[in-house]
Amino acid sequence: MVMVKKRIVIALGGNALGKNLHEQMLAVRETAKAIVDLVEEGHEVVISHGNGPQVGMIQKAMDSLIKNEPQYGKVPLSVCVAMSQGYIGYDLQNALRETLLERSIVKPVSTVITQVIVDEKDKAFENPTKPIGSFMTKEEAQVLMDKGVKVIEDAGRGYRRIVASPKPVDIVEIDTIRTLLDAGQIVIAGGGGGIPVMVRGNRLKGAKAVIDKDFASSTLAQLIDADCLIILTAVEKVAIHFRKPGERWLSDLSINDAKAYMKEGHFAPGSMLPKIEAAVEFAESAKDRFALITLLEKAKEGIAGKTGTVIK
């Protein structure tokens, strides 16, 4: 069978990056192998990624700095997102370059510091829901809550700070991303969902928010006219009745069935639900587009139709 070359956006989950700098440097080596598998097949690839642990770590470090040396001033969340894009991109670029050269593939890799436009009237600003940063004890969380910081208990694993998560509207650097892709480069863009910005005339103002990386990846995939959006996660396939009686793993999922399952509450908010929502959004945005949800190491097999859950 002849492999049809595709333009693909790969949305990396947190498990592909580790939880700290040391883990990340090790994790990106395995991540690079899975991505280069697709490049080796001739596909055009754009990579996006999450940044939950990383942006939380950066903001915590900046807050500690300001506490001890207040002359530096408060560092906005949008700037912390930009920092996370830079250092995650740095590790990914180098791991990809090394893996490409090991396979005798000469192909440049670029990271684009990416700003994503959000609507300042988005209702998400009134109801923060997006957990960021490391887990805290109840006592640590209480210290923040006493300062007016919004914190939630996250799935029995501890407490985390929450911020607004508005929907992406447009991507400022989209022409740059297209140009690099058309020139044959591998592009890393939209890291952490992008730096959230609001348009104020000719100025872009950073927003105190974190955009969901799956929705940002869907927007990115649509704007570069991708054929496929791959959302990589911790399971090989999507399931209904997950970890319950009647559990069923799905290989193919129609847009209508996906919407019905979402309405029935099969997918957990903050976990699989946004992935399904983003996949459906992309799949129904144009004819012949499809999304794939699977494990990182199964991406190549998934594109070949051998595993994963395909939404179309």
> CA 212, CA 188: separation in Å to the nearest integer?
16
Could you list the active site residues? 14-15, 130, 213, 275
Helix residue ranges, H only, 73-116 = 77-102
- The span from the first CA to the last CA of the chain, in angstroms, equals 22
Which residues, 6 or more positions from 223, have their beta carbon under 8 angstroms from its beta carbon?
170, 171, 174, 178
- Residue carrying the six token digits 């639900």: 273
* DSSP label of 286: S
CA-wise closest residue to 238 among 263, 213, 214, 262: 262
Burial class (CB in 10 A: 0-12, 13-18, 19+), 75: middle
Helix H or strand E encompassing 177: helix 174-182
CA-wise closest residue to 57 among 20, 17, 16, 91: 20
